[in-house]
């Protein structure tokens, strides 16, 4: 059955009135036959007759058809039919990097009548393996299977050929009602080396942390080298406090532990007066209830939030560190350090707790330097270098859910864009040929 994805464009079909109006307006003059008795009359006195009949019917029909086809093309026509095992033998979904490894099997399935589809949630139909798009890794394989279960009936055979990157198997494994045959392979680019961090160490050498990822795991190595011609700027960290002197000491000790671990070249300064704050710094810790003065130049400012403390009995998420007091959250932008209730202790660079034993157990915990390390030097979130593969013991097919009769039968869509373009071109060529022929005959 024919369907239009953008039916509003069919209103352009009303444009067929234009060629009809032109044909009616362009009336052909009637033929004048002169006889002997009026041949000497003045030509100006001759009144020409015009015919109201529509001439060149074929030319008019072709021009109307041209406008209708143009409107149809813009309406994105597709042919829909129920997707069942009687109309389609099965689907083949293959990634571009996996096709060479399974070429023989995939080609055999296509010769048997299976349809090739893209390895994304759109599942667009392809006509040959060379049309498989590059893998963008935009969705996980579990998300792909969930979307696939909504596209095909449970009894339709689906052959899935993919890589085995661990990053693509994140999230909960779904239970799907699919007749699934899934095969994986190790992609050819199975090793990746990259520079993760480069910074000036406290011994005036450049410290480089390099990453190496293989199917078996990801490792990092650190080595020092002499600095280049351009010296790296020393990081300036400033802690300001007016009445929370004890908090400042706990924070300074944790930052020094971070510096000793990373060997970064850091200048740490604790001040009690606003006037003593340097003109610029990379990070300013504002341990005060007073508002931040204007004109403070800092790459990043982390400050105590204002408000009335609330007593709670919670822990910092993923740890056993207890939290006794917290401040009400005003903005959850950039939420971090959630408590056991899911409320952030750090959001939008505002701390809703204090570095104090009366507020939490962070000052006495060895995890405080780790929390600061993650906050100041977060690990790269980009998974482009991750080459780890899933363990074969974990690579099992999802549980098969009980198939229920769908409310709406899945439909197979076949785009008619190419057919419409071809018809439009043929009609245009025929119209031009007939128009030129008619014009030549009238001259």
pLDDT in tens, 38-77: 555 555 444 544 555 556 677 778 888 888 888 888 887 8
> What count of other Cβ atoms lies within 10 Å of the Cβ of residue 214?
14
Q: What share of the chain is helix, strand, coil (3-state, %, to 5)?
A: 30, 30, 45
pLDDT of residue 70: 84
Rounded distance, CA 377 to CA 235, Å?
Answer: 12
Q: What's the start-to-end Cα distance of the chain, in Å?
A: 47
Series of mean pLDDT values for 10-residue runs along the chain (443 residues): 72 74 61 57 50 65 83 77 73 93 94 91 88 83 89 89 89 85 86 78 74 86 64 81 94 94 89 92 94 90 92 90 91 85 90 95 92 80 76 74 53 75 86 77 64
* Averaged pLDDT of the chain: 82
**Residues in a beta bridge with 362:** none
pLDDT of residue 72: 80
DSSP 3-state of 421: helix
* Predicted model pTM: 0.54
Provide the b/e sequence for 216-237 (b: ≥16 CB within 10 Å): eeeeeeeeeeeeeeeebeebbb
In DSSP notation, 406-435 reads -SS--EEEEE-HHHHHHHHHHHHHHHHHHH
pLDDT of residue 230: 44
Rounded distance, CA 239 to CA 376, Å?
Answer: 14
Rounded distance, CA 404 to CA 314, Å?
Answer: 43
Rounded distance, CA 235 to CA 197, Å?
Answer: 15
421 touches 73 (CB < 8 A): yes
Domain boundaries along the sequence of the chain: 2-29+54-80+415-442, 84-189+391-409, 235-376
Rounded distance, CA 284 to CA 238, Å?
Answer: 5
């Amino acid at each position: 059955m024919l369907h239009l994805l953008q039916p509003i464009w069919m209103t352009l079909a009303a444009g067929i009135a234009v060629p009809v109006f032109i044909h009616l307006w362009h009336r052909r003059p009637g033929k004048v036959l002169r006889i002997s008795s009026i041949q000497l009359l003045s030509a100006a006195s001759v009144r020409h007759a015009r015919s109201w009949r529509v001439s060149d019917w074929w030319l008019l029909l072709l021009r109307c058809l041209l406008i209708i086809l143009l409107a149809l093309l813009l309406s994105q026509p597709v042919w829909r039919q129920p997707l069942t095992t009687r109309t389609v033998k099965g689907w083949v979904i293959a990634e571009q990097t996996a096709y060479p490894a399974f070429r023989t099997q995939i080609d055999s399935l296509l010769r048997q009548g299976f349809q090739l589809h893209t390895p994304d949630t759109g599942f667009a139909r392809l006509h040959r393996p060379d049309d498989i798009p590059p893998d963008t890794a935009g969705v996980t394989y579990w998300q792909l299977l969930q979307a696939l279960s909504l596209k095909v009936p449970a009894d339709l055979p689906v052959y899935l050929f993919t890589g085995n990157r661990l990053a693509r198997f994140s999230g909960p494994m779904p239970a799907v009602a699919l007749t699934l045959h899934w095969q994986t392979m190790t992609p050819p680019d199975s090793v990746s080396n990259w520079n993760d961090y480069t910074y000036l160490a406290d011994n005036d050498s450049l410290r480089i942390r390099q990453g190496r990822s293989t199917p078996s795991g990801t490792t990092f190595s650190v080595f020092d080298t002499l600095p280049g011609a351009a010296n790296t700027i020393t990081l300036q960290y400033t802690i300001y406090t007016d009445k929370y002197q004890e908090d400042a000491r706990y924070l300074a000790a944790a930052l020094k532990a971070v510096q000793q671990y990373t060997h970064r070249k850091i200048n740490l300064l604790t001040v009690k007066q606003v006037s003593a704050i340097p003109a610029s710094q990379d990070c300013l810790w504002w341990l005060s209830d007073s508002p931040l003065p204007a004109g403070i130049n800092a790459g990043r400012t982390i400050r105590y939030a204002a408000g009335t403390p609330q007593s709670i009995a919670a822990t910092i998420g993923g740890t056993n560190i207890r939290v006794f007091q917290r401040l009400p959250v005003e903005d959850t932008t950039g939420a971090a350090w959630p408590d056991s209730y899911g409320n952030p202790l750090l959001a939008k660079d505002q701390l809703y707790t204090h570095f104090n034993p009366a507020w939490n157990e962070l000052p006495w915990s060895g995890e405080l330097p780790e929390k600061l390390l993650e906050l100041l030097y977060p690990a790269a979130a980009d998974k482009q270098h991750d080459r780890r593969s899933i363990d074969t013991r974990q690579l099992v097919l999802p549980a098969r859910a009980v198939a229920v009769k769908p409310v709406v039968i899945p439909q197979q869509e076949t785009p008619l864009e190419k057919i419409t373009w071809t018809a439009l071109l043929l009609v245009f060529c025929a119209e031009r040929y007939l128009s030129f022929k008619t014009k030549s005959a009238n001259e």
